[in-house]
Amino acid sequence: MTRRVNVIGVGMVPFAKPGRSEEYNIMAGKAGMIALKDAGIAYDDVEQAYAGYVYGDSTCGHRAVYELGLTGIPVFNVNSNCSTGSSALFLGRQAIEGGFAECVLVVGFEQMERGALGSKWTDRTNPLDQHASLMSEVQGFTQAPPAAQMFGGAGREYRWKHGTKRETFAKISEKARSHASKNPYALFREQLSVEEILASPEVFDPLTRYQCCPPTCGAAAAILCSDDFAKKNGISNPVYIAAQSMTTDYRSSFDEASMIKMVGYDMTKNAAQEVYEQAGLGPKDIDVVELHDCFTANELLTYEGLGLCEEGTAEKFIWDGDNTYGGRFVTNPSGGLLSKGHPLGATGLAQCTELVWHLRGQAEDRQVEGAQVALQHNLGLGGACVVTMYRRD
């Protein structure tokens, strides 16, 4: 990286069930104002804005940002499915790093409807949905939502390969609920046992209802700036982006007849490797992780893709408690997408916010003590994976 990029302000609003949230522009405006206040700057100091969302009209980003002011700055609308928030963050980081701006706002938001990701959402012109439909015909899959078929299919493939117990996937959701119980921003804060999770309605083996993230409404934001801007505004020792990488699909995603590869394993693995090389750090240096747990199966796969454990050892990693407090890595202290919720455009910025709080020591009851290095993983099928490493020296 040619110029260091700092994260000097973050903010989010509590996530809500569809039908129970404010309008998208109000949520986004509130998240943006919180981030500006956190940074100690005015909206007039922002030179560019990047707005991420999936469900909405072509310039919803403008409407959202206009809640903060009408200063005539460039506003960019970003849509990359579930990786939208981090894709917007990637663009904002590039603007600062490249010297095109000194301070930018990145905001993500989503106002979803009930069943937004259900089977009626299937688009037969979308290659991912075509692939899910083909897998249904060939392997006898039920009419579960396409995303559940794909990630559930990846979970099945992993089980066939490694003999993994169904309880192992449920154990991930149990951990998510435990973490979310301490997060006032999370949608689901009730703790559940492995038995209760397995007893919930089956969606697509090995996934039950409590192992799938819910459609959610919410917003989150971050303020990025250069070292010069931070110094000018009296900001010392900020959290900064130590490395960042975005990958998209490889031939292996579709040519190797592997559901694990199709849901982004190679994207994750390669993006993580690029980040480790850029930062000069490895998995052993990480203190806290927010990763894309849209389904429990994906969290399990991502442990290995990020190098948190060796391939084929995720089950032991989970049951040894190496994915939670007292273990090797605290993963998804927020409760993750499974329990915090998954407002598509906001998710990447919500992950960023959570990690910045930990690096500052501001995560309250969820605080990972002494955290100095944080890793973020945000995945969207279609496909894109963004991995970001944050540090505070």
Is residue 40 within 8 Å of 264, Cβ to Cβ?
Answer: no
d(CA 262, CA 379): 12
Q: Return the amino acid letter for 120.
A: K
Find the DSSP H helices in the chain. Answer: 24-39, 60-65, 84-97, 127-139, 146-162, 166-180, 194-199, 227-232, 252-255, 259-262, 265-279, 296-305, 314-319, 336-340, 344-360
Q: Could you check whether the bond before residue 214 is cis, i.e. omega within 30 degrees of 0? A: no
Among 179, 342, 358, 377, the active-site one is: 342
Q: Do 360 and 209 contact (CB within 8 A), yes or no? A: no
- CA–CA dist 194, 223 (Å, integer): 39
Buried (b) or exposed (e) across 211-222, using 16+ Cβ within 10 A? bbbbbbbbbbbb
Annotated catalytic residue within 60, 82, 309, 385:
82
* Cα–Cα distance for residue pair 250/266, rounded to 1 Å: 7
Check residue 48 and report its DSSP letter. E
Query: What does the alpha-carbon distance between residue 234 and residue 12 come to, in Å, rounded to a whole number?
Result: 24
In this structure, the chain runs to a length of 393
Q: Is 82 a catalytic residue?
A: yes
342 in catalytic set: yes
Pairing mode, if any, of strands 373-380 and 288-290? parallel
Dmax (CA) of the chain: 62
Two structure tokens written together for 71: 């200063």
Catalytic positions: 82, 342
